Amino acid sequence: MKKSIIKGTGMFVPPNLVTNHDLEKIMDTSDEWIKQRTGIEQRYWIDGVTGSSDLGFEASKIALENAGWKPEDLDFIIFATLSPDIMFPGSGCLLQAKLGLNKTPALDIRQQCTGFLYGLATADAYIKSGLAHKILLVGGEVHSSGLDKSTRGRDVTVIFGDGAAAVCIEGVETKKEAGVLASVLHADGNLAGALMTELPASRLPVRMPPEIPFDDVRYYPVMDGSAIFKKAVRMLPKVINESLEKAKITLEQIDLIIPHQANMRINQALGQFLKLDETKICHNIQKYGNTTAASIPIALHEAMEQGRIGKSGDIVLFTGLGAGLTWGSVIYKFL
């Protein structure tokens, strides 16, 4: 049976480093305030005209090189983002063109912080069904151009960073237990208002109502931080256990948990709830902030580069919760 095997990864962040001290200069905040509430010390923001597909292209080149693939080898492209370059068409098609392709199908996934989880489950389904053999899965985000960089928007703005990561996934015939062992995905649209950007909105007669000023809060992301935190610490342990049961393995068999990097406090609370050793949870939010769909694959790439995972038999568990609300868990075993 074909298994979905990771053949290469890559990541890219723009060169413009923005520290907490830099943010102190443009809004009423402090390095201490940000670190205490989020664990973030810095993030990277674009400087100039750069879209999520541009960042994804740079990450994809690295992933393809690490996999030993050429763009022409790809059967399918999946692009996860909440910040597409333009309203339409999707960033997956824009990335496809940047890779020099003109026939390869491309799919955009708009699942925000769980975009990589939904994308990995989708890639696994395509491979196991025989619809694709070599898939490029990308998570890419440009948040900085859509943030309220004033004191009014500081609670959200200090959290987000720009970046992208890519994963090359191949269908490999093997009898070994490997690849995606289990995926569990959930959503609850009743909580959509807890984390959202409301405008521009196609449900309105005019997407950008002239009576609403362009600096209105509805043009920027808003978040009920308390509600998201409570939901995350309650639902993530549950979905992790669901995926463990589905994969028929125990938590002790997991070599590394890579959670979505939304808030260091959420990930620390998750570790405490599961009674895990700190070394078993991957944290890199302090360096990149929340890069949404890119956060899990960026952490995966770094963990593999550092040798924390990647050996035959290593098992990694991905999990996250975000806007939608959506949440999930995917367990992967290296071949």
Which residue is catalytic, options 20, 66, 113, 263? Answer: 113
Assigned superfamily of 2-173:
Thiolase/Chalcone synthase (3.40.47.10)
* Backbone φ/ψ region at 27: left (φ over 0), alpha (ψ -120 to 50), beta: beta
**132-184 pLDDT, tens per residue?**
999 999 999 999 999 999 999 999 999 999 999 999 999 999 999 999 999 99
Mean pLDDT of 231-237: 94
| Predicted pLDDT at 208 | 94
Q: Is residue 190 annotated as a catalytic residue, yes or no?
A: no
Helix or strand holding residue 9 (H, E): strand 2-12
Domain 179-333 classified CATH 3.40.47.10? yes
| Predicted pLDDT at 1 | 85
Which residue is catalytic, options 260, 263, 267, 282? Answer: 260
**29-80 pLDDT, tens per residue?**
999 999 999 999 999 999 999 999 999 999 999 999 999 999 999 999 999 9
Asked if the model's pLDDT at residue 123 lies above 90, the reply is yes
Q: Where are the domains of the chain?
A: 2-173, 179-333
| Predicted pLDDT at 160 | 98
Burial of residue 43 (number of CB atoms within 10 Å: 0-12, 13-18, 19+): buried
| Predicted pLDDT at 146 | 96
2-173 and 179-333 share one CATH topology?
Answer: yes
| Predicted pLDDT at 13 | 98
- Positive or negative, the Cα torsion across 57, 108, 166, 296? positive
User: In whole angstroms, how large is the CA radius of gyration of the chain?
Assistant: 19
Q: Is residue 143 annotated as a catalytic residue, yes or no?
A: no
Question: What's the pTM?
Answer: 0.97
Which residue is catalytic, options 143, 282, 290, 301? Answer: 290
Give 278's pLDDT tier (boundaries 50, 70, 90).
confident
Q: Is residue 260 annotated as a catalytic residue, yes or no?
A: yes
Mean pLDDT of 211-233: 93
